[in-house]
Structure 1
């Protein structure tokens, strides 16, 4: 687990040093830092993720866990505590998370896989339905 934590810490540091941009495998991707609160621990954690902006005040994150058989820990945390802060670029603001289901999820999932084929590979590696989480901004831009 410490390997993942070290990896995330480096991405978070690069994100904050470069106004939300990172290189390596995430070069050119829209990145977001999700400040989620542990469902059991109550501890705030920060996870860097790729996100897919959907228009004014809404973006979507993908609980892919690189195609692992279980959902990522952050998924359980945002389901249990759906209001939290995110960092996008140099802005930090509060969002509310909602899991997308049915046709809305399926249509968006096809668009995400077309835009980022790595997610299609993750889908092939797992039997679970990969959750999509919509983040809706709660506070207005300053």
Structure 2
């Protein structure tokens, strides 16, 4: 698997799948850590790579840490926006967007780039500092598996 196209596809899947409540605007999404944040914002941050999960370079595993930063102007409203994105279902649900990115049964994930993608957990619900500003946010642990020979 090639890491950069996977990161871009994750951002594209979230951009297409998350619909925030009226008046909030669209979720800004990036496959890379942005220099400046336009909240609310989702981006792919770190990646850990586990090679050779099956024999003969058959499968590699990518473990991504993604971040979602909801806002900073009003702590209560920012946390409500974040809570909606972290919910397991609903139009703003990141989990629902990742489930859609998995594809239908028997299809490859992320438009054919991976065998599977799975949003495993949310962690670190707290205030984050990014480029000198504070945002309420959380980290998402995302697992992607696919062909290690490509």
The two structures have a TM-score, normalised by structure 1, of 0.42
Larger CA Rg, structure 1 vs 2: 2
Higher share of residues assigned helix: 1
